[in-house]
Structure 1
């Protein structure tokens, strides 16, 4: 059981349902209601997610090995071999592509998924070496619903608007939240993250270019949900008000975190987890005019339930992973 937990930790399985939900989202927005197709796309999304994180763990091992916070990671403590993790990543990736193609039978969709994967793989291979490489995983994630939707025809504007929101969310999550969470260990290991390149240090608040960049990305993220509610004609006045208010509260919450001195890593992890949950709820609000209630409920409930179950299994506590 211990080795199984280590492999599940390696694969970051606890967040796999979020990636899978984004994969099936494109198909749902194009009107796909075939259960087998959606199930295969969901499994493909989970496999794609786990493949990417296995490769990420392999490539980050030299950096993780220097951090006192990450001694429990499977590759760091040696419970999983680096070669085994790399082989597993390749197998999972090939399985993901296969399960994605079988129900869709679309070369265009497969090529878009390959392009998305290329961005993700590029980040895993070189992301710690260059600043602003966080654009790569943001592009990876944003292309997932575009890829699955393209099998059913030309994607409508709402898919591209949702993809823009996802792009900015992952950019903020990876470069700002992840940059702050891992700031101490990245400085120790010599990683060249965006915030470090812009002058962020462990002592004191964010300032100068690092603060400017963080605020700019967060404000762009706050503007993204406004585009679909004002550009398209699908949103009622009440729903517009709810989205704007929730978006504003989420912005205030994240700004409070950015403008104060960095706390302990565990505290930052809790605050960023809450922000990610809020962003996911905001996405569900944006989807209300576009999907039937049963699919909204599935998208709303499945990822958090999945997360709670797997974090409890792997880390012994619900909702807070030890990464």
Structure 2
């Protein structure tokens, strides 16, 4: 197993397959940004498979495909099939904005992707357009329907909750998730670069208290997916809620994940700058033993915690550069 200096087992890899996206969510990508990574610098499928195989041999059991928008990477289902077949990997999941999901849902399911998280910050068409810069809600809902038809379960809705933007939509989203049999995950906006710092941060603790009263929620001891969310379920079993609170109640003591960006940079913490660049090693011909040693060395760099609250202006890197 990969164990860091603080005794945390690293068993979850978030893998960005592209830094590009067809939406421009105002908490993620700077307005007018065009400086995306050159495709020549993207890890190839062979390189990705090799890195993930080493992680799996070292005890990583979960991999999540992210972006940018991962479904913009050509032939992604083929990569998913290669990864899902790796010995030791138990869970392959995907986070998507849903705009391309109608075309790819069935192929992803057949390739071995077991779970999908869909980013959706409102059910109001004008609010979605305000946040994403695109009139994308109809496409996203079509993608959601395709994912359900393909048999994905559970499907989680990721909603970044923002004060005076979509906070009034939270109850409507909860009711929608009950109706559709979905899990709602509320996420606090993080100060990742200027885009994240300009987001309208909303403390989710009062929201959780309000939803707990309305839906008679009970906290669940068992995690649902191995990530940072804490989960509650209604006593009647019709509603499940996850809350990701990096600011109001951080989860660093139990952090079990690292992120690999599209250019092969291994980021050890979402809110810190510790990293290791794997692409130069791969293209210089490093063998598997050397790659394993490099990954172990990188894990030793993983910091104890982020400093989003203490130093909100510290991080210049924004979310799409890191990988969602």
What range is the shorter-chain TM-score in?
Answer: 0.3 to 0.5
Greater share of residues in helix: 1
Greater share of residues in strand: 2
Give TM-score scaled by structure 2 length: 0.32
